[in-house]
Structure 1
Amino acid sequence: MGSNRLRYFFSQPHQPFFLLGVINAIVIMALFLLAYRGIIATDALRLHGYGMIFVVFGNFFYGFTYTTFPRFSARPPVEIRRTLRVWLLSFLASVSLYVSLLLPEAFYVATIFTALSFALTLRNFSSIYTEAPEPKGDQYWIIVALGMGAVANLLYLLAAIPCQGCRTGVFASWAVGVGVWLYLIFLPMVIAFRMVPFFSGVMDYAKSRAFYGIIFVLLFSRLIVGAFDPRGVFLVDLLLAFWLGREIWRASLPFPNPDPLLWSLHLALFWLPLGFFVGALSEFFEAWFGVASLRLEIHLLALGFLTTILVAFGTRVTLGHGGKPLRVGPWGVALFWLTQIVLLGRFVLSLAAAQGHFFPWFDISAMLWIVLWVAWVALYGRVLIFGR
């Protein structure tokens, strides 16, 4: 029985990646809370940034892309032995990151394992892309986004290498910028604009031909503008809010919708233009009036869009592939609303910090995140691991 259950758990790519992502989501935030409080001695910001980008969201991304990329390409699923190699590398990267809390040099090992997982994935997907029939624009931009993730990981490695007279801070800044905007936000955006209209039954929607290209250029532009004159970043974000809002309006999604699995996906998509718009306002007041927002623009999108769509997609995929009906009960609906409460907690933290009241709002915000993923495991963990 044990071997059969283990065989089932590794039979679909999303299962081991999702479980690893959820565990890391809880552990990374708990460690970040302790590190920021000074209870454990480590680079708290690097732990939070690298941990969230690569060992938390990165594993979710692998789970989704190894499930959807072959389907987008009308090709057979990736052989399970190939996905397990990537999962093993991601698992070793996670362990190495935790070891680096005691042995800082282990951080280099974590980045190397992450680099290898990107390399194998890009090779697997490039092979599928070559054989896929036209059109394959979505697949192209997924590969580009994964490539940007690989670049961000390399920049984190360069930033960590001690070098006399080197400006490693530049590497660190670009590692966060590329990792967040061109990987963390851009990759799920590509998947969302393909899957959300499909799940919603909007079959006549066709994205603007240059949609992803313009989004990528604007996201890259905000990095360049931020490097030379941060006061102008809010203008780029306003353009992003307009362009994304225009595309969502064109999609004519059936919202409001009685199905929680659908309206939660719609809500996540709406947070893209809203997050960029509110983020632009916070950037304007920070750059021109010195009102610090604790990177509110990133967290609005990472929680409003990314976390909301991960919870909704993750629930849908877990139920569907686990042989359960695509329905959620009252507790599932409460879980979707909890994602918005987590976002609200982070928003309040930024407002409170601007007034000089960082604690206890930081602790509350971190604990809400942990409660969210513990609740998800309690509701859907058994289906994820064992199926129906």
Structure 2
Amino acid sequence: MRMQFSEDQNENYFFSQPHQPFFILAFVNAIVTMIVFLLAYKGYLFLSLSPTNFHFYGLTYLMFTPVFLGFLFTTFPRFTSTEAVAKKSYIHIFTVLYFGAILFLLGSIVSPFLSAIALLLVFYTHVRGFLILKNMYSTTTMEDKHDIFWILISMGFGIFSHFLFIVAQIFYMPLMGLATEIAMYLYLFLLTFSVAQRMVPFFSHCMNEKNQKLLKTVFLLLSFHILLEGIYTNSSFLVDFALAYVIVKELLSWELPFPNPNPLLWILHISLYWVPVGFFLGGFTNFISLITDIHFLALDTHSLILGFVFTILIGFGTRVTLGHSGNIMHADKWTTLLFYWTQVVVAMRILVSLVSSMGWNIMVLFDISVTAWLVMFIFWAVRFFRVLIDGKKLTP
């Protein structure tokens, strides 16, 4: 009886807060999808969709989206001063998403039909999550809805890009480019930046007056970027330079205390500094590709998504995991090393693109970059999964 009670207690703890099961699922998916992608890219495994599309879908909707859902289900009630998400609701979404992820991974290898069912299941959870957030936005009595409005808008674009991916994969492949562009810029980037510009200055005790036009300006420039890329590939370089300028000007006005001795803060600051760097690199490489035959193997999106979205995911994910488990809000040597390792992951992927642009063989570097990614997520899991599963208290 005592063992049964202990197991029930652990099970109840695991589902006691929304971020716990969603973070676990996202990190497991990050490891499994990257291994499958590596095998498929090297020709050891045949998939029912292209390795590139598998890579995009697996990381966008099976890794980043569960993290977004877990994070927003935990924090959005505070943002909106509304009631917490009902446990029954987020467990239902998690369960369907869990089976959808398994079906997608299996279906991609053995059956296009199973893969198609998986796409619909995962899409269903995305829509359900959005509707929960939309209901909070609709019922909040807060007067200042500026930040939560843009979080909701970007989540809506995530659903739209998700829908376009499914249509492209099943019916009309030419839509895949548009689905990817919207997902990268108006979903992954805009949602993360909307949260970051609200929370990072607050955590850093920077109380400068907020620029209410920032997110609208960024949204319009991102939309123009997507439009230009739809008309002619690599023609968006001027917009990328404009985004780099607008955002670096804004970051400087925040006067973030960098370098900061607190790893839980400097990891967030580094991620933000990657935003103008990523857009500048995007503008530069797009211009080079436009006037020459040199191509950079998606350096623009990887420098932005890995440099900013991935880095801040690790930073915020660690912060939420510690803060909501009763652990001391402190990054020990292991955690600090993981934060440094995020930049190794980013640097290795950028190096792969640069070497590719020179026409050299990238397979050794590609293997190293994937290994760096796997090491990052495996070691994070070793350190923090017990905290998420049963509330383990970490020694300082």
Alignment of 1:352-371 (within 5 A): 352-355=355-358, 356-371=360-375
1:191 aligns with 2:195: yes
Counterpart-to-counterpart distance in 2, 1:82 and 1:288: 52
Give 3-state SS (helix, strand or coil) of 1:232's partner.
coil
Note if contact 1:296-1:350 (Cα within 8 Å) is conserved in structure 2. yes
Q: Report the alpha carbon displacement of residue 174 of structure 1 after superposing the two structures with TM.
A: 1.0
Moved more, 35-44 or 349-358: 349-358
TM-score between both structures, scaled by the size of structure 1 = 0.96
1:22 aligns with 2:31: no
1:344 aligns with 2:347: yes
Give 3-state SS (helix, strand or coil) of 2:212's partner.
coil
Instruction: Name the amino acid aligned to 2:251.
Output: I
Counterpart-to-counterpart distance in 1, 2:222 and 2:314: 24
Counterpart-to-counterpart distance in 2, 1:206 and 1:149: 29
**Match of residue 144 from structure 1:** 153
**Match of residue 14 from structure 2:** 9
Give 3-state SS (helix, strand or coil) of 1:205's partner.
coil
Give 3-state SS (helix, strand or coil) of 2:256's partner.
coil
Q: Report the alpha carbon displacement of residue 205 of structure 1 after superposing the two structures with TM.
A: 2.6
Counterpart-to-counterpart distance in 1, 2:205 and 2:89: 33
Q: Structure 1 residues 114, 205: CA separation in 2 closer, same or farther (over 3 Å shift)?
A: farther
**Match of residue 36 from structure 1:** 41
Alignment of 1:226-245 (within 5 A): 226-245=229-248
Q: Report the alpha carbon displacement of residue 110 of structure 1 after superposing the two structures with TM.
A: 2.0
1:46 aligns with 2:53: yes
1:303 to 292, 303, 306: 306
1:126 aligns with 2:131: no
Note if contact 1:190-1:212 (Cα within 8 Å) is conserved in structure 2. yes
Give 3-state SS (helix, strand or coil) of 2:110's partner.
coil
**Match of residue 169 from structure 1:** 173
Q: Could you list the structure 1 runs, at least 4 aligned residues long, displaced by more than 2 angstroms after superposition.
A: 204-207, 229-232
**Match of residue 59 from structure 1:** 66
**Match of residue 267 from structure 1:** 270
Moved more, 365-374 or 284-293: 284-293
1:316 to 319, 326, 335: 319
Q: Indicate the percent of aligned positions where both proteins have the same amino acid.
A: 35
Moved more, 48-57 or 280-289: 280-289
| Equivalent residues, number | 382
Per-residue CA distance 1:146-203 (angstroms, 9 max, x = gap):
11111111111111224xxxxx23211111111111111111111111111111112x
Instruction: Name the amino acid aligned to 1:89.
Output: V
Note if contact 1:114-1:153 (Cα within 8 Å) is conserved in structure 2. no
1:83 aligns with 2:90: yes
Counterpart-to-counterpart distance in 2, 1:359 and 1:118: 35
The Cα RMSD (Å) is 1.2
Q: Which runs of 5+ in 1 are unaligned?
A: 163-167
Counterpart-to-counterpart distance in 1, 2:131 and 2:348: 40
**Match of residue 165 from structure 1:** none
